[in-house]
């Protein structure tokens, strides 16, 4: 229709343009985090990379932290999809295969979202907002894994090394996140992720099922 302005465009068309601009902002933050630390990111730089006005940024997000929260939520959703929404161990799936599936899913998510995950873990001790965002995302994942572990315990198929399942799962989860984010404390100077992943799988298996014997 001739003479139609942006404001008079159909709602669906406006949403589509809004979605593109919002996605451009998220993409810009992902790209910029490959070049600099999150602390150094400015709204002006993000807006410029996204190709929108600074005022356009604030139409969709209140701060750069809100963009980071979206990126981390996307990573969490990706992990949920890969783990089939943290589905319990299947009838024909050994504990070893289950541990491998869960760890490998985390590996894929960290790899796909690198260096964002590494940048966030590096900044968590110096930036309270990033720490809060990460903690909320991790809590969601930990709660789901605790549910799986408690279900196995109730069925008599798991024999964890500690009765404090929440603390045990949280410790295992934290070790997994730090190792996969490239923390040199966990990987050593060689930064051999594959080597670390093999240990992670055995760690989860031994801690929750009692090691290789639990695969029989």
pLDDT (tens digit per residue) in 61-105: 999 999 998 998 899 999 999 998 899 999 899 999 999 999 999
Average pLDDT value for residue range 31-55: 94
Confidence class of residue 211 from pLDDT cuts 50, 70 and 90? low
Gap between the Cα atoms of 14 and 18, Å rounded: 6
CATH class of 65-215: mainly alpha
Nearest to 66 by CA among 22, 31, 102: 22
Question: In the CATH hierarchy, which fold is given to the domain comprising 11-61?
Answer: Arc Repressor Mutant, subunit A (1.10.10)
- Spell out the SS3 assignment of 49-113: HHCCCHHHHHHHCCCHHHHHHHHHHHHHHHHHHHCCCCCCCCCCCCHHHHHHHHHHHHHHHHHHC
Stretch 156-161: mean pLDDT, rounded? 94
Q: Where are the domains of the chain?
A: 11-61, 65-215
pLDDT of residue 181: 84
- As a three-state string, the secondary structure of 137-165 is HHHHHHHHHHHHHHHHHHCCCCCCCCCCH
pLDDT band at 186 (very low <50, low <70, confident <90, very high): confident
pTM: 0.79
């Amino acid at each position: 229709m001739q003479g139609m302005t942006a404001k008079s465009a159909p709602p669906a068309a406006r949403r589509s343009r809004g979605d593109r601009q919002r996605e451009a902002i998220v993409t810009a933050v992902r790209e910029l985090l490959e070049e600099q630390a999150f602390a150094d990111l400015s709204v002006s730089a993000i807006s410029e990379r996204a190709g929108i006005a600074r005022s356009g940024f604030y139409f969709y997000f209140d701060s750069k932290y809100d963009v980071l929260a979206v990126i981390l939520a996307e990573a969490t959703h990706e992990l949920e999809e890969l783990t089939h929404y943290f589905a319990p161990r299947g009838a024909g799936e050994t504990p070893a295969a289950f541990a491998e599936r869960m760890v490998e899913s985390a590996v894929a998510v960290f790899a796909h979202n690198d260096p964002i995950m590494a940048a966030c873990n590096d900044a968590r001790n110096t930036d309270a907002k990033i720490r809060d965002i990460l903690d909320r995302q991790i809590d969601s994942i930990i709660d789901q894994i605790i549910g799986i572990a408690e279900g196995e315990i109730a069925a008599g198929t798991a024999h964890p090394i500690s009765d404090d399942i929440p603390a045990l799962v949280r410790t295992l989860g934290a070790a997994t996140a730090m190792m996969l984010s490239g923390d040199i404390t966990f990987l050593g100077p060689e930064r051999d992720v594959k080597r670390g992943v093999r240990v992670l799988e055995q760690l989860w298996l031994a801690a929750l099922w009692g090691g290789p014997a639990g695969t029989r």
